Amino acid sequence: MRALIVEDDPALAADLVAAFREAGFAVDGAADGEEAAHMGATAAYDVAILDIGLPGRDGVAVLSAWRAAGAALPVLALTARDAWADKARAFRAGADDYVTKPFFMPEVILRARSLIRRAAGHASAGIVAGALAHDPELGVFTLDAAPLRLTAFEARVLGYMIHHAGRVLSRTEISEHVYEDGVDRDFGSLEVVIRRLRGKIGAHRIETLRGRGYRLLAL
């Protein structure tokens, strides 16, 4: 999963980026509204954490720009305590949830994961695809209830695939959701990860559709 963090306070932005990376996300950061408006409208993010109090083009204007550009990504707004007007404006502009500052970092990550899960159409906290299950909160994957040992990158790829099990995912789509901005998106290394995942979860669970991509099957 890939997250966009928009926060102009450098220390808080660094904390958010570090915490989301630690939680397994590919993370891009933006410190001003112009940059954020462009990134959220043009790149593929699974969630955005958006500070409403940005200098210049504020978070609500950024969010309005995303929605006007057709970007449907889930958005968790960061607002000042008691700033009811900001919260109302954020929701009207298309925010999905908010937390007030100062916040407890695990809560931000919990809410972000919940938004991602709901956006992918999963109502329960755990995501199941046949014998394969994933608990996003704990970051755990199991096969027939036995924990799988995955590298961070394998977990990121499988996490995206299990959220979208049954759907054909092109290599481009998967790449967009597992690599950070500025990282060379190498289909070769993605193929290597898919091969390793097949070895760990059973080759028959990841179907290759020639010229179209991969599909995780709920078997």
Of residues 15, 31, 53, 103, which one binds Ca ion by CB under 5 A?
53
Q: How far is the CB of 74 from Ca ion (least distance, A)?
A: 20
58 part of the interface to Ca ion, by CB under 5 A: no
Q: Give CA angle at 136 (181, 9), nearest 5°.
A: 45
Which runs of E-coded beta strand occur in the chain?
Answer: 2-6, 26-30, 47-51, 75-80, 97-101, 127-129, 132-135, 140-143, 146-147, 206-209, 213-216
**With CB under 5 A as the contact rule, which of the stretches 50-58, 104-112, 170-178, 198-206 interacts with Ca ion?**
50-58
- Structure token digits, residue 143: 């096969």
Of residues 8, 15, 32, 137, which one binds Ca ion by CB under 5 A?
8
Q: How far apart are CA 35 and CA 33, in angstroms?
A: 6
Q: Which residue is nearest to Ca ion (CB)?
A: 53
Of residues 51, 58, 86, 154, which one binds Ca ion by CB under 5 A?
51
**With CB under 5 A as the contact rule, which of the stretches 31-39, 45-53, 59-67, 161-169 interacts with Ca ion?**
45-53
- Structure token digits, residue 55: 């200098």
Residue ranges binding Ca ion (CB under 5 A): 8, 51, 53
